[in-house]
Amino acid sequence: RPTLPQEAEFLVIDNGSTDGSGAIGESFGARVVTTDNRAGFLTGLNAAFTASTRHWVWFLQNDVLVGPGTFAAMQDAANLHSWRNVLQPVLYQQGGALNHAGGRYYWPGYGVGHRTVPRGKGTVVPIELFATACFAMTRDTYEWVGPFDEQFAPAYYEDVDYSLRLARLGIPRYLALRAQARHV
């Protein structure tokens, strides 16, 4: 069970699951938000931002595990970049191979992700594309850019679309170099 900062809020967005996720989340002190699942994952993304009362919203898909120190590393990066932006940890696959560390994607969906973790001197490096599997975004960013487009259901290329929308508005996307998560 991770230790969250005192001001953190833990939400479980229940999109009609039948696996008891809501009850499990409640047992850990989470607030459960139920949605109608009309667009599945994207409904959940938008519901998380609507329901949260915090400046930063950190979204984890149900198949993402965070590594030791990830919350602290994301917090450190957030303290340096606290206005309009998106932060993403380095995502690995179950076997340890790199899953996502930013990259360049071309519409409609052909693209190349980084093959290694980009190097940087600080706690973050800029990336062009963030992955919606695991990311943190300020509420101000979400309110400025608007909701995720639920027409991308069942959630393919929503991260490309949102990254392009962010880029058009000059809003940076960062990879938090010391934060790690596993997308299983």
Check residue 100 and give its pLDDT.
81
Check residue 166 and give its pLDDT.
94
Check residue 105 and give its pLDDT.
56
Distance CA 39, CA 6 (A): 32
Query: Which residues on adjacent β-strands are paired with residue 71?
Result: none
Pick out the chain residues at pLDDT < 70: 1-8, 38-39, 104-115, 154-156
Q: CB of 42 within 8 A of CB of 150? A: yes
Model pTM?
0.85
Task: Provide the terminal-to-terminal Cα distance of the chain, rounded to the nearest Å.
Answer: 18
Q: Kindly list the distances between the CA atom of residue 134 and the CA atoms of 20, 143, 145, 182, in Å, as whole numbers in the listed order.
A: 21, 19, 18, 9
